[in-house]
Amino acid sequence: MINIAVLGYGTIGSGVVEVLSINGDSIEKRAGDKINVKYVLDKKEFPGDPIMEKLVHDYDIILNDPEVKIVVEVMGGIEPAFTFVKGALLAGKSVVTSNKELVAKHGAELLSIAKEKNLNFLFEASVGGGIPIIRPLNQSLTADEIEEITGILNGTTNYILSKMSEEGIDFETALKDAQNKGYAERNPEADVEGYDACRKIAILSSLAYGMQVDFEDIYTEGITKITDIDIKYAKSIGARIKLFASSVKQEEKVYAMVAPVMIKNNHPLYSVNDVFNGIFVKGNVIGDVMFYGSGAGKLPTASAVVADVVDVAKHLNKNIWTIWSSKKLNLADVNNIKHRFFVRISDKDNQLSTKIRELFGSVELLSLEGLQEEYGFITSELTEREMKEKLKQLPVINSIRVRF
Ligand code: HSE
């Protein structure tokens, strides 16, 4: 029997206990031993829940119990998660976590302690919920040089943008709907401002390039400036707006960015809608690969956590080597990236067409029925820097990067 302790009995923690109970027999066969939840750590009480028998409030009980071989951290946030996880590794216990903030900030250090101690620190559930993406990057795609990772990595914002597109509603209404369905937090900032996707692409980039990509260095724009009118323009040309988290390697430089983009149905992520996540990876020998599925939620995330527990159980005295050095990868300046852009201009008396031609050459003007005082157009490829300079000279309502 392999004893584990689960830190945090919230949505994911209770999901982990549930998955181990629903699929206990097949998990035992795959792990080669029975996985037993010996302790659950939480500040709260859960009257009437059988978990009360295993509930502890003092982490030292877990830390000092040599029978606990694996600690599952599903509390979220940096502290006390970091102290608990580091303490577990130093005490000779392997760790599985779903905590993207912790992994993005301290992944390199925790992996290095795990390696030194011949233990494991696994974090499949920290990106893409139930979708396998960490293990593919570490194991299945190791023959490749990764040239691009582009993901729809946040289910909440994907749901909001899908709702806005399907129902023609504005951002605030779609956000309220997401909150009512439990897809968005009461304080939705981390999702809608792109911070959650930023941490996830920082983790994937660190793994793809084997060095520390600091999330603070990644240019990040959320979806709060996307309006129902932007989406109407997109629909009028057969496009959708998605929040992309990308990192691209070009000539030994890595660019990373989180921002809304317009895509058409020739893009592999076009059909990733609602709360689903999708991750597109381009390798120099494999070509294009796609990963799709439930990027959040109790059981999908718990599925990835428990699969990591099984992997640790199969490697109890062997470190699964992950290359992620603490050496910082200096990201290239995003101002040098080239995109096409969709631009909306306010032009009451139709006086700006000459100026637009002067700045952008001949572009087709797009208009929406009932909107007389503005129009849109799509530029040819320009660097972010060139675009900023040009847009200073026009009454811009919004601009969105285009990938078609
Ligand atoms: N809020 C996150 C999302 C949860 O919507 O994707 C999973 O990390």
Residue nearest to atom 4 of ligand 1 (CA): 296
Are residues 305 and 251 both part of a single domain? no
Is 348's pLDDT higher than 90? no
DSSP 20-70: HHHTHHHHHHHHTS-EEEEEEE-SS--TT-GGGGTEES-HHHHHT-TTEEE
Question: Is residue 327 one of the residues assigned to a domain?
Answer: no
pLDDT at 13 over 90: yes
pTM of the model: 0.97
In a domain, 323, yes or no: no
Q: Which listed residue (200, 242, 249, 390) is catalytic?
A: 200
- The number of helix segments (H) and strand segments (E) in the chain equals 14, 16
Residues 364 and 304 in one domain: no
Ligand 1 center from residue 240 Cα (angstroms): 21
In 3-state terms, what secondary structure has residue 103?
helix
| pLDDT given for residue 279 in this prediction | 98
Range from 64-68, 71-75, 119-123, 249-253 carrying the lowest mean pLDDT: 249-253
275 plus 154 within the same structural domain: yes
Task: Assess whether 304 and 290 both reside in one domain.
Answer: no
Check whether 11 has a pLDDT greater than 90: yes
Consecutive H or E run containing 114: helix 100-116
What CATH number did the domain enclosing 304 receive?
Answer: 3.40.50.720
366 and 284, same domain (yes or no): no
pLDDT tens sequence across 25-42? 999 999 999 999 999 999
Residue pLDDT, tens place only, 67-121:
999 999 999 999 999 999 999 999 999 999 999 999 999 999 999 999 999 999 9
In angstroms, how far is the first alpha carbon of the chain from the final one? 54
Pair (277, 376) in one structural domain = no
In-domain check, residue 324: no
Tell whether 152 and 266 lie within a shared domain.
yes
Residues with CB under 6 A from ligand 1: 129, 154-156, 191, 196, 295-296
How far is the centre of ligand 1, averaged over its atoms, from the C-alpha of 154 (Å)?
5
> Alpha-carbon distance 1 to 396, whole Å?
64
Half-sphere CA count of 156, side-chain side, radius 13 A: 26
Candidate from 168-172, 209-213, 348-352 with smallest mean pLDDT: 348-352
Instruction: Write out pLDDT tens, residues 302-329.
Output: 999 999 999 999 999 899 999 999 999 9
| Catalytic annotation present for 100 | no
388 and 284 within one domain: no
Within-domain flag for 307: yes
| CA 256 to centroid of ligand 1, rounded, Å | 20
| 3 state DSSP class of 367 | coil
3-class secondary structure for 239-261?
A: CEEEEEEEEEEECCEEEEEEEEE
Q: Is residue 321 part of a domain?
A: no
- Quote the number of domains for the chain: 3
Question: Domain check: are 155 and 274 in the same one?
Answer: yes
Q: What is the CATH number of the domain that holds 385?
A: 3.30.70.120
Q: Which amino acid is at 212?
A: Q
Q: Mean of the pLDDT values across residues 145-158?
A: 98
Strands (E), 264-327: 276-283, 287-294
Judge if 125 and 149 occupy the same domain.
Answer: no
Is residue 193 one of the residues assigned to a domain?
Answer: yes
Domain span at residue 393 reads 334-402
The residue from 251, 284, 314 where one domain ends is 314
Q: How confident is the model at residue 253 (pLDDT cuts 50, 70, 90)?
A: very high
Q: Are residues 144 and 104 in the same domain?
A: no
| Residue that is last in its domain, among 245, 279, 314 | 314
Pocket-testing residue among 101, 191, 201, ligand 1, by greatest number of atoms within 8 A of Cβ: 191
Nearest to 137 by CA among 126, 124, 120: 124
Query: The CATH number of the domain where 255 resides is what?
Result: 3.30.360.10
Q: Could you say which of 314, 344, 361 is where a domain stops?
A: 314
Query: Are 185 and 221 in a shared domain?
Result: yes
Distance 132 CA to ligand 1 centre (A): 15
pLDDT value for 319: 98
Q: Is residue 325 part of a domain?
A: no
Q: For the chain, give the mean pLDDT.
A: 97
pLDDT at res. 293: 98
- Residue 349: what pLDDT? 84
Identify the band that residue 350 occupies on the pLDDT scale cut at 50, 70 and 90. confident
Packing angle between helix 155-167 and helix 228-236, nearest 10 degrees?
70
Q: Measured from the CA of 159, which atom of ligand 1 is nearest?
A: 5
In a domain, 99, yes or no: yes
Position 291 pLDDT exceeds 90: yes
Q: Which atom of ligand 1 is nearest to the CA of 100?
A: 8
Residue 217 in this model has a pLDDT that exceeds 90? yes
